[in-house]
Amino acid sequence: MSVRQLWEGCDAAVWAQKLDGRTKLLVLFLVAVLAIVIDNPRTLFLLFTASLLLHLFARTSVYKWQVLAILLLLGLWGSMFSQALFFAQTPRTPLIVLIEPSMPVLGQITGGLSVYREGVIYGAVQGLRSSIMLTLGLFVCWTSDPRQLLKALISWRLSPQIAFMLVTAIRFLPVLAAEAGEVIIALRLRSDTQVGRKSVIGHLPYIAKPLLARCLRRAQTLALSVVSRGFFLATARKNEFWAFNEKIVCLMLVVFTVGIAVSKVAYLLSEQGLYFGDLRIVYDWTKLYL
């Protein structure tokens, strides 16, 4: 599988490709709100599991699963490791002491360095939030044609220029990676070097100019194509058909997300003294699950 195919949704399941772009973007936004509002690790893990199940049902290829796993592990590990070392809130329980405060040089500079249990938990929660958005964002990218997202943004009365720039940004990195691979192959053939990591590293300083030239030519061709089709003309555009069942699902998810946000705000207000006895069940439910 090529680098460009790795980031395109040509091999996704049919139902995932046929989903309306508005449905995908709205679900992505609502899940982002839920990831911010929810603090309970178990609930966040259930939300993360649901996002992984979407990839499973969409029949994401093995190569894409490998990329997803690497990105998730790097994000989770980085979040947990950084928070475990530099967690500044109290209370905090040291699990492992890396640098004693009494150590001659490093101890005086750093004041001691330890791995804190509360930092690991806090980092895991923050890592789950980023993992949820990463997983769902890749699901949208891997199952959507750029035209789907472009039509969705325009149907929401977004400026055509801004919509086009957003969609182009989504597809820029895969195209750039594919162009870089072609440039490296050309440089390797010209210098008669064999395939290997050393040859790739040796050619990295020389790919900037040809890669920039290819990107400029591609941008010029894209600009001429867009202008010739009259994409940026201020003409009225009809809204694309949005399936009724997708509308119902999105409406239910909006109501659910708003309910979660309202219950969390009510619970936070109760902690500040604004308490209502009739909402005790809501407070208990929010404390247990949110």
pLDDT, tens digit (0-9, with 9 covering 90-100), for 83-102: 877 777 777 777 777 777 67
Identify whether residues 140 and 252 lie together within a single domain. Answer: no
Identify whether residues 223 and 120 lie together within a single domain. Answer: no
Range of the domain at 132: 1-144
**Final residue before a domain boundary, out of 129, 144, 159:** 144
Identify whether residues 156 and 285 lie together within a single domain. Answer: no
β-bridge partners, 99: 113
Identify whether residues 15 and 108 lie together within a single domain. Answer: yes
For residue 81, the model assigns a pLDDT of 81
Which of helix, strand or coil describes residue 223? helix
Please say whether the beta carbons of 86 and 99 come within 8 A: no
Identify whether residues 175 and 251 lie together within a single domain. Answer: no
For residue 236, the model assigns a pLDDT of 46
DSSP state of 231: T
β-bridge partners, 114: 97
CA-nearest of 184, 188, 254 to 28 is 254
For residue 229, the model assigns a pLDDT of 60
Identify whether residues 89 and 196 lie together within a single domain. Answer: no
CA-nearest of 110, 162, 104, 174 to 138 is 174
Identify whether residues 70 and 12 lie together within a single domain. Answer: yes
d(CA 119, CA 116): 5
For the chain, give the longest Cα–Cα distance. Answer: 79
Identify whether residues 28 and 93 lie together within a single domain. Answer: yes
For residue 204, the model assigns a pLDDT of 65
Tokens of 97: 């002491």
d(CA 3, CA 176): 10
Q: Where do we find the tokens 């058909």?
A: 241
Identify whether residues 176 and 206 lie together within a single domain. Answer: yes
**Final residue before a domain boundary, out of 224, 241, 258:** 241
Identify whether residues 65 and 193 lie together within a single domain. Answer: no
For residue 59, the model assigns a pLDDT of 85
Any residues with CB less than 8 A from the CB of 109 and at least 6 apart, and which?
A: none
* Phi, psi dihedral angles at 272 (to 5 degrees): -90, 5
Identify whether residues 136 and 167 lie together within a single domain. Answer: no
Sequence-ordered alpha helix ranges (H) in the chain: 3-6, 14-18, 21-37, 41-57, 62-86, 106-110, 117-143, 146-155, 160-191, 197-203, 208-228, 244-271, 280-289
- The residue ranges of the chain whose pLDDT is under 50 are 235-236
How many domains is the chain built from? 3
d(CA 158, CA 23): 16
Identify whether residues 140 and 150 lie together within a single domain. Answer: no
CA-nearest of 253, 5, 26 to 140 is 26
For residue 232, the model assigns a pLDDT of 59
